[in-house]
Chain A
Amino acid sequence: MKVVQFEEVETVRRSPRGREGSLEVKMLLTGDEDRADNFSFRWTDTDDNIYSPRHHHNFEQFTYLLDGETDFGNGMVLKAGQLIYIPEGTYYGPLSMPAHRRLAVQFGGPSGSGYLSQEGTTRAHRELQETGEFKKGVYHPNDDAGGKGSQDSYEAIWEHVRQRTIVYPEPQYGGPIIIAPENFPWEPVGGMDGVHEKALGTFSSARTRAAKYRLESGTKFVAAGRGLFVVLSGEGRVEDQGYAELTTVYLDDGEEATFLAGDETEIVLLGLPSLARIADEPPQLRVSV
């Protein structure tokens, strides 16, 4: 279990790696790069100059919008308080986002493709700039750089880190799934008086969950299962620490954390898949014969 206090994490202003635009970011939590269930969880305050072409990834994502509104292409609009699940392999974009604040977790999905570390991504981004240019979400290598031509920025970074051709998993879903929690009713959680849940779904063959919880003042909530429990509002205590807005509790498989709500509290669960449900071998390059 890890507890991260939002205010204690440094805010950095930068460009998204390989994408157009600028943002402020707090890297709240990261996983273990050597594990297929590695993840990166961040808060961003995004300017209105972000652009990304239509693309896909070999990892999965949840984005929870704290305020504003943003688009994911093809008319998909995410509003404040809504959640989007982007499965591995599915295309989305182009993105030309209005200003907004979000919570986002990117994580290794059921295919076993894993997820690059932030350090590796940053290093590769810097090294690739020596042999080419990132422009509007696409990496253009210099004429004398050899190798491939222009390609999606993240794809170029991934291949530079892994030193092999990226293979995208076949998508399990037809596209991203937008979830509107405001339209789900609260349901009492059995055995926990004063605790209510909105179960928002279980996704992919890795059975990744999403949910919201509302804790009445003075109640106790025992959180369990792998994922990020993020406090959206309210104050209280979790285990031996205080919690406030955007305090995040990461639980691994088999772990629990007890929240004691000082006042009414709302929590969003961004679930993470368990290693047991992730493929041992990532997808391989198909060789023609």
Chain B
Amino acid sequence: MQVVIAPEAEVQVQSKGNDPRPGATRRQILVNELAPDGLNFVFYRSTYQAGDDAFVTPRHHHGFQQIRWTEQGEVNYAPGQSIREGDIAYFPRGAYYGPQEKEQGVAWLIQFGFHGEHMYGPAWWDSRKEAMDRLKAEGEFRDGYYVYTDSETGQEVRRDAADALHSTQFEIHSGRPFSIPPEGYDAPILMHAKNFGAYEASPGVNIQPLGNFFDHPAPSGDVRFSVVTVTSNGRYVLDPERAQLGWSLDAGLVIDGETYPELTAFYSPRDEKVELSGSDLGVRFHLVELPRLD
């Protein structure tokens, strides 16, 4: 079990020389994991900046899945489409979105995949550096694109910067070509969490189910979203069958007997059984149950 009080996490400023995307987003890495079953994720909090420091991308897609929750403000993800404060969105594998311009607000992001779908953490640093070096030697990162000259036609080619990096990195790391699967859901799925009805799961525990989405085969390949409210006399047990991530919306979340403030993030790996409780007034927390492939 890992517990991180998000506002206290170290702040890193997006590095312009080492990131394929433009911007000077302030990021706080909350949890990063490469689990024995191949699950790889990074869970982080981003504070977006305006003007030349905004995070901008062209329309693109990924081979991994994403979850975005807006803590403050309104965070853009496509023309005319934003994730408003308190809303949460699921970005399926392969689904196109953007162009996006993230120039305000505070958002929490989870990017995850299995067996190289997502490439984050120490096991991937060497191949990332090699890929960046190789790409910079043959072209440049500009406005969210990777731009290079085709040696056969002499024409300038623009390609999504993250796609260029991920495919090069994967090929360096694994020796195999990288591919993004066709989308099962055609676009990001935006959930207005406050509008979902709740039901009592047990005394002192209410659950708002937000949806289960399958980007991997059933029976356990879905990612499950919910908001749980637990009071001081309620007990919510994180199921050891799945890796789970969550974050509290109110002060008073009790994890293993210790009380935490609002905006506390937690990660419960597979095979761990953890009990959560709350305050007399009730504590709300978002819960994401990650897929398992076995």
User: Measuring CB to CB, which residues of chain A are less than 8 angstroms from any residue of chain B?
Assistant: 76, 89, 110-111, 169-175, 177-187, 190, 197-207, 277, 279
19 additional A-B pairs beyond A183-B94, A202-B212, beta carbons within 8 Å, are: A170-B194, A172-B191, A172-B196, A173-B190, A173-B191, A173-B192, A174-B89, A174-B192, A178-B186, A178-B187, A179-B186, A182-B182, A184-B184, A198-B214, A199-B219, A205-B196, A277-B197, A277-B199, A279-B197
Q: Are B190 and A179 in contact (CB under 8 A)?
A: no
B61 to chain A, nearest CB (A): 13
Q: Are A183 and B181 in contact (CB under 8 A)?
A: yes
Q: Are B187 and A205 in contact (CB under 8 A)?
A: no
Q: Which residues of B contact A172 (CB under 8 A)?
A: 191-192, 195-196, 210
A205 to chain B, nearest CB (A): 4
Q: Are A204 and B184 in contact (CB under 8 A)?
A: no
Q: Are B211 and A204 in contact (CB under 8 A)?
A: yes
Q: Which residues of A contact B194 (CB under 8 A)?
A: 170
Q: Are B94 and A171 in contact (CB under 8 A)?
A: no
Interface size on B, residues (CB 8 A): 33
User: Measuring CB to CB, which residues of chain B are less than 8 angstroms from any residue of chain A?
Assistant: 81, 87, 89, 94, 181-187, 189-192, 194-199, 208-214, 217-219, 221-222
Q: Which residues of A contact B197 (CB under 8 A)?
A: 110-111, 205-206, 277, 279
Q: Are A199 and B191 in contact (CB under 8 A)?
A: no
A55 to chain B, nearest CB (A): 19
A174 and B190 in contact, given A179-B185, A183-B184, A204-B196 (Cβ under 8 angstroms): yes
Q: Which residues of A contact B218 (CB under 8 A)?
A: 187, 197-199
Contact of A170 among B195, B198, B213 (CB under 8 A): B195
Pairs A–B under 8 Å by Cβ, sample size 18: A172-B191, A173-B211, A175-B190, A177-B189, A178-B185, A178-B186, A180-B182, A182-B182, A183-B181, A184-B214, A184-B217, A185-B217, A187-B219, A197-B218, A201-B211, A201-B212, A205-B208, A205-B209
Q: Which residues of B contact A201 (CB under 8 A)?
A: 185, 211-214, 222
Bound Cα distance A216, B208 (Å): 37
Bound Cα distance A287, B68 (Å): 35
Bound Cα distance A65, B181 (Å): 23
Shortest 6 CB-CB contacts between residues of A and residues of B: A174-B190, A187-B217, A199-B218, A202-B212, A205-B197, A178-B186
Q: Are B183 and A183 in contact (CB under 8 A)?
A: yes
Q: Which residues of A contact B213 (CB under 8 A)?
A: 201
Q: Are B195 and A183 in contact (CB under 8 A)?
A: no
Bound Cα distance A173, B188 (Å): 11
